[in-house]
Amino acid sequence: MQLFRHKSPLITGTIILTVTGFVSRFIGFFYRIFLSRIFGAEGMGIYQLISPVLALSFSLTVAGMQTAISKYVAGETVSKDYRSSASHLFTGFVLSMAASVVCAVGIYCFSEPIAAYFLLESRTAPLLRIIALSIPLATVHSCINGYFYGIRKTSVPSLCQLAEQLIRVGSVYVIYFFCSKRGMTPTISFAVVGLVIGESASMLVSIIAVRAHFENAVPKNYGPLLKMNFTSFAETAKRLLTLALPLSLNRVIINFLQSIEAIFIPNRLMSYGYDNAAALSVYGVLTGMSLPLILFPSAITNSICVLLLPIVSEADASDNVGTIKKAVHKSISYGFGLGVLFTALFLLFGRFLGRFLYQSTLAGSFILVLSFLCPLMYIASTLNSILNGLGKTGITFAYSMISLLVRLGFVFWAIPRFGIHGYLVGLIASQMVQTLLCMFAVRKYR
């Protein structure tokens, strides 16, 4: 079997995910430009600080379960066992929803101490209370998206992503202009309200899609699909949790370290000599303006990664080394070529883009340095997906940990001495370490 025996699903799915990813990121760019001009760099810094809480809550509630659902429904396209697929989706949803409700209530009730002692910024407390409402909503569409990824119908997750982005951005625009006409001063809370509205839209789209799917697939037997007794529910739950819990634990640890990284960048900048406002402004420019632009082209590699995993998993199960070797070779060659192309573009136009898009020379200087991340990121992301497909999740977890620890070292040691540029060097160094480790891990397939 060749790498692209499943050529049509892979190419079609990649195109759908890539186009949707580009459209969403394109919309997101204008949205970030809008936010940066309305709320300034400091406001963007405060807004970005709530990201660690969202990432941790996603890891705790649904990240591992989404992958587990995807894995256990993957055989539906061949077996047509819709009852088994529906039971895995329903069971995973119930477990994740219970966790998400607990998480949402915890964040809402303890927003003040989380803001003060974890995020080290008390002004994020009202934002945390708002985003708590989005956690159960995100759980719904994440579980359903996991199902559709498993049966390789990427159009539904893509539509959910696009709906979330369009409604989120549109709602914030409407709220802003409504308040402006009435003389009200806009606050960054408007952007967080838009996030909740966007998650609601994505949830509705996913529910409509999954209901239509089952009605079309099994119109005569759609009703009894979800009839489960306690024993079958417990067995399915055990099967899902056996896979989901280790994945979730890995994600929680990784996201916790990423949270420490994000939270302490402004803190260490103050050790370098900035005041609180200046530190948040620099952090906002880096994470809210420059990095999103650098990450924009990764919509291509992210789409490939989502679809590489099941193909490599199948090749590994059938001991098809040739397919795996082709996947590794193409991942490295295409990732490097694409990365060099975008590095050159960012080096040529980085300063202009910073001034034109964000009216910030600092953003432009960050883009120039960060451009060297592109080849490293693209190679590492696809190789990580291949390693996960080979069942080597422990290795990818270890490599991510090593990369993060390198970055944390630069946060705590380099930023107080060299400022934000010490961290930029740390980003490149950590990504280089991870990429080299991934290439070492797949050396026998090269």
pLDDT, averaged in runs of 10, over the chain (446 residues): 46 65 76 83 88 92 89 71 83 94 96 93 94 95 90 83 90 88 83 93 94 76 61 87 85 89 93 91 90 82 67 72 81 87 94 87 93 93 83 84 94 95 95 94 81
Q: Give the pLDDT score at 2.
A: 44
What sign has the CA pseudo-torsion 391, 393, 399, 400? Answer: positive
Q: Give the pLDDT score at 78.
A: 64
Which amino acid, residue 289? M
Residue 218: how many CB atoms within 10 A of its CB? 16
The Cα–Cα gap between 119 and 323 comes to 45
Q: Give the pLDDT score at 79.
A: 67
Which of 195, 182, 263 minimizes the C-alpha distance to 35?
195
CB 261 within 8 A of CB 407: yes
Q: Give the pLDDT score at 1.
A: 40
